[in-house]
Amino acid sequence: MADKQFKKKISDALDNNVLRGALGRFGDAYVISREKAYEGYDFKEISDNIAEVKSYAASHLDEMIDQFEKQATARGAKVYRASTGEEAKQYILELAKKKEVKRVVKSKSMVSEEILLNKTLMSAGMEVQESDLGEWIVQLAGQHPSHMVMPAIHMTKEEVADVFSGHLHKLNQPVIAELVKTAREELRKSFLEADMGISGANMAIAETGTLIMLTNEGNGRLTSTLPPTHVFLVGIEKLVPNFEDATHILQALPRSATGQQITSYVSMVTGPTPAYYPDGTVQDKEFHIVLMDNGRRKMYEDEKFKKTFQCIRCASCLNVCPAFQLVGGHVYGHIYTGGIGTILTNFVNSEKDAQNPQNLCLQCGKCSEVCPGQLDIPQMILELRNRMGEKTGLPFTQKFALDVVSNRRLFHSMLRMASIAQKPFTKGQPVIRHLPMFLSGLTEKKSLPAVAKVPFRDVFKTIKQDIKNRKGKIALYAGCLIDFVYPRIGEGVIKALNEKGYEVVFPDGQSCCGAPATYMGDRGNARKCAIMNIEALEAEKVDYVVSACPTCTHALKESFKELLHDDPALASRAEELSKKAKDFSKLLFDLGGLTPGGDGIPLKVTYHDSCHLKRSMGVYTEPRKILTDTSGVQLIEMKESDRCCGFAGSYSIKFPELSGPILDRKLNNIEESGADVVVVDCPGCLMQISGGLDKRNPGLKAIHTAELLLDKRKNVKKNRVK
């Protein structure tokens, strides 16, 4: 759970309008420029290629390092293997002392930031100059980079001008072209005077001992040209097996990082090249390569985190992250920021350092969609969360809540009690608009739905199922929200499936799917829920198991299998359930959909894609087809229809201050679409969005696909008869 200091950092970041503005504008522009840069290219194919060559390197790491060292040495380089940051720093410091270095110029190296190399060299009396413009600004301002690719994205031109004026003892106007000119002039001196250059690399080619770096400003070229001593500081994850494998990364890195087809400069350095020495002679330069581990190997040896080796550090995961876009990099607390940064921090810094930032992940999966290295970042963050939960335990209140949830009888009787106890807050309305005191953050931006008077499990018994041409039997898994808050969704599901010839049964022993426990890092309780539901649902006895909540469906299809993989008997039952479980709109579509029809009354709808349905299950055309087959329905696509609504389960309780603005953006897009109704397939999204609309625009309604069908097809049969 996030601690107080961390919460303070978040609220400071949220209060920083400059940061919010810069990140927001960039995030919007990035999506478009990335898409344009990949036009005519097959992103899937490129990322498959990257995953292939990088995973090969990861599983042959020693071989790669040996080969790289052999080849680079054959070309005249001196290769040093540093197992820790300390070793890397000592090696470079000793070399600098031996060469009587006074001035060091650096082109961009995140690894050197990771180990705070500058501090070591500066305390030995050397001048160290960053030369990447963003890095230099951050260096002068005494800060850390807030983004891997754009270190100073958090600063305005006014702030940069102030920093320049303070350090260069002359007034700088906040005019970007002028500031860049100042940087050119100031740093030119550093390049010409430096007696040592330090660079990072984007790739290290084992086959040829070549280092490749991509830059736009030309600092990489100058650092590789002028100083007579050149050190490359490289993390072992930069290894790529063969020279031509670099093609794939060259295709993806600039496109994914900055939306460019290629950076202005790509520099490939193989061994020492000639350089001018102070005496005017031209000789091969002193050329060193430091290959650094610093916690990385531990990460790659861990089966769950091995894929981090496939990361090419493009930072596209940050650029599309709704949470990063709100708070920026500095909230993450260390050098590497965003989702991938949290994982790297866990291994190169410490688990403790990753404890707060891992909470920021919404698990929306947008980052995985754009990752050219095919990393499942949310899954890895979840793994961290669970390991932390197992090691240190969850705070008492959370643990208590999850213990209750995994005890069906207790949980359900508490929900029934809540339905009565909530009355003071609902004031006779179906929503809770205000909560007292510390809970008020929950209802600041949105209303909460009231717990239904009669839960679905009781409503079910009263539903008369009308089945013609009986084809089979489907078990309905309701999940907590449909069971206790939105029973009408369940009614819609039954009605539609009856029409397809299926009887729907409601196994009474079912309870919470365990997702809250899974996403809060409590595998013990998640497992209990998995077992309880597998036993209750008896998938063996039905044709399908349907759920109208994609988060629950994901649990039935994926999480249960993972949680029970060590118990063969339960695992095979989980497998059976996984095969039969389908989300409502997917199942209805697969069964051939409903006969087109409806009340014909014009209704403008827009559709919100839930994260789990679209990205975990790849379902997004199916619900749209179901909607447009309903007569009267006009579907208008909203902007960013698959962007997270900010609910993310317990996230909206842990971080209402982040969930709120994410919701605002969703509501803006819904309003801009001009639709009368927003349709969703997830009761969680429904709760979040309808709560927000209730506060802001009560005329606009949110409903679940199953409810829309119920409403619009009330009289379908009668219509057909006519």
Partner 1 sequence: MHKDQQDDLYNKFKTKIELVSGECYRVNTALEASELVCNVLIEKGIKDVALLNSPISQKGDFVNTFEKKGIIVYTDNFRQVTPDAQAGITQVNYGIAELGSLVQADADVNQRLCSTLVPIHIALISTDKLIPTLKDTMATIHSLPEIPGFVGFITGPSRTSDIERVLTIGVHGPKQLVVVFVDEEVGGVA
Binding-site ranges for partner 1 (CB under 8 A): 22, 25-26, 29, 75, 131-134, 137, 150-153, 155-157, 160, 176-177, 179-181, 183-184, 187-188, 191-192, 208, 210, 216-219, 221-222, 224-225, 243-244, 246-247, 250-251, 258, 261-276, 280, 282
Closest of 250, 134, 128, 124 to residue 198, by C-alpha: 128
Closest distance of CB 380 from partner 1, Å: 29
475 in Cβ contact with 548 (< 8 Å): no
Residue type, 288: H
Closest distance of CB 138 from partner 1, Å: 10
Q: Which is nearer to partner 1, 75 or 387 (CB)?
A: 75
Closest distance of CB 164 from partner 1, Å: 11
Q: Which is nearer to partner 1, 76 or 593 (CB)?
A: 76
Longest Cα pair distance anywhere in the chain, in angstroms?
100
**Separation CA 560–CA 582 (nearest Å):** 14
Q: Which is nearer to partner 1, 118 or 251 (CB)?
A: 251
**Separation CA 646–CA 663 (nearest Å):** 5
Closest distance of CB 265 from partner 1, Å: 6
Q: Which is nearer to partner 1, 222 or 644 (CB)?
A: 222
Strand, helix or coil at 234? Answer: strand
Residue 718: count of CB within 10 angstroms of its CB: 8
Q: Which is nearer to partner 1, 259 or 389 (CB)?
A: 259
Lookup result for tokens 């736009």:
216
Question: Helical H runs in 146-232?
Answer: 157-168, 176-193, 219-223
Q: Which is nearer to partner 1, 184 or 565 (CB)?
A: 184
Q: Which is nearer to partner 1, 26 or 620 (CB)?
A: 26
Q: Which is nearer to partner 1, 57 or 605 (CB)?
A: 57
702 in Cβ contact with 690 (< 8 Å): yes
Q: How many CA atoms lie within 13 A of 151 on its CB side?
A: 24
User: Would you list the DSSP string of 638-668?
Assistant: PTTTTS--S-TTTHHHH-HHHHHHHHHHHHH
Closest distance of CB 310 from partner 1, Å: 20
**Separation CA 301–CA 387 (nearest Å):** 16
Closest of 37, 13, 12, 28 to residue 250, by C-alpha: 37
Closest distance of CB 205 from partner 1, Å: 8
Q: Which is nearer to partner 1, 194 or 299 (CB)?
A: 194
Q: Which is nearer to partner 1, 232 or 502 (CB)?
A: 232
Paired strand residues for 702: 678
Q: Which is nearer to partner 1, 225 or 578 (CB)?
A: 225
**Separation CA 190–CA 188 (nearest Å):** 5
Closest distance of CB 331 from partner 1, Å: 20
Closest distance of CB 34 from partner 1, Å: 14
315 in Cβ contact with 133 (< 8 Å): no
64 in Cβ contact with 239 (< 8 Å): yes
Closest distance of CB 307 from partner 1, Å: 25
Closest of 498, 454, 483 to residue 594, by C-alpha: 498
Strands 239-240 and 203-205: parallel
Q: Which is nearer to partner 1, 281 or 392 (CB)?
A: 281
Distances (CA, A) of 444 to 24, 452, 659, 671, 692: 22, 22, 11, 20, 9
**Separation CA 625–CA 417 (nearest Å):** 40
Closest distance of CB 215 from partner 1, Å: 9
Q: Which is nearer to partner 1, 66 or 158 (CB)?
A: 158
Q: Which is nearer to partner 1, 71 or 688 (CB)?
A: 71
Q: Which is nearer to partner 1, 281 or 621 (CB)?
A: 281
Question: Helical H runs in 271-407?
Answer: 296-301, 316-319, 322-327, 338-344, 351-355, 366-370, 377-392, 396-405
Q: Which two tokens stand for residue 398?
A: 């959370």
Closest distance of CB 132 from partner 1, Å: 7
Closest distance of CB 282 from partner 1, Å: 7
Q: Determine phi and psi for 32, rounding to 5 degrees.
A: -70, -45
Closest distance of CB 100 from partner 1, Å: 20
Closest distance of CB 179 from partner 1, Å: 6
Per-residue DSSP letter, 609: P
Burial of 94 (0-12, 13-18, 19+ CB in 10 A): exposed
138 in Cβ contact with 111 (< 8 Å): no
Closest distance of CB 133 from partner 1, Å: 4
